[in-house]
Every structure is written in structure tokens, then in C-alpha cells.
């Protein structure tokens, strides 16, 4: 779970330059984990990072810019 959250945060660093931001709070941590586990069960030939990329593409909101800090 920690790796997944860090991976998405890393993507956000590069996505910010393209005016995108993947909201880790769009769904709960339990929902994120459940989605990734389900993806892995349905796609045993795929790698874990591919499940995370699918989560990003299909479940996390993409606001137009990063939230103010």
C-alpha cells in the first residue's frame, strides 16, 4: 500500500507539469486497495504497477490543477 501511494504521488509530480493531478482522496484507501487486488485477480498476467495505473485511469479524479498547499 505504501508503495502504491508513493507511486501515485510520484506520478503527480510529473503530471503537475501537464496541469493534471490524481486525487488520492477521491476514494478511500480500502477502496483503492480493493480495486488493485481485484484487478490483479482478474489479470494474473499483468504486473502490480499496471493495476495501479488502471486505478489511476478509472477511479481517481483528475482535477484541472493541483490543490493549493
Q: How many residues does the chain have?
A: 69
Cell numbers given for 28: 478511500
Give the span between the Cα atoms of 21 and 43, in whole angstroms: 26
Give the span between the Cα atoms of 38 and 68, in whole angstroms: 33
pLDDT 10s digits, 3-41: 998 999 888 888 767 777 888 888 999 999 999 999 999
Give the span between the Cα atoms of 64 and 33, in whole angstroms: 25
Q: How many domains does the chain have?
A: 1
Give the span between the Cα atoms of 4 and 11, in whole angstroms: 11
Residue 25 covered by a domain: yes
Cell numbers given for 9: 504521488
Residue 65 covered by a domain: no
Residue 68 covered by a domain: no
Q: Which domain holds residue 41?
A: 2-59
- Is the overall model pTM greater than 0.85, yes or no? no
Residue 11 covered by a domain: yes
Amino acid at each position: 500500500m505504501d508503495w502504491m501511494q508513493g507511486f501515485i504521488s510520484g506520478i503527480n509530480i510529473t503530471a503537475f507539469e501537464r496541469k493534471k493531478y490524481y486525487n488520492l482522496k477521491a476514494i478511500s484507501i480500502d477502496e483503492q486497495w480493493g480495486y488493485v487486488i481485484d484487478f490483479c485477480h482478474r489479470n494474473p498476467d499483468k504486473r502490480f504497477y499496471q493495476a495501479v495505473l488502471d486505478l489511476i485511469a478509472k477511479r481517481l479524479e483528475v482535477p484541472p490543477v493541483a490543490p493549493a498547499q
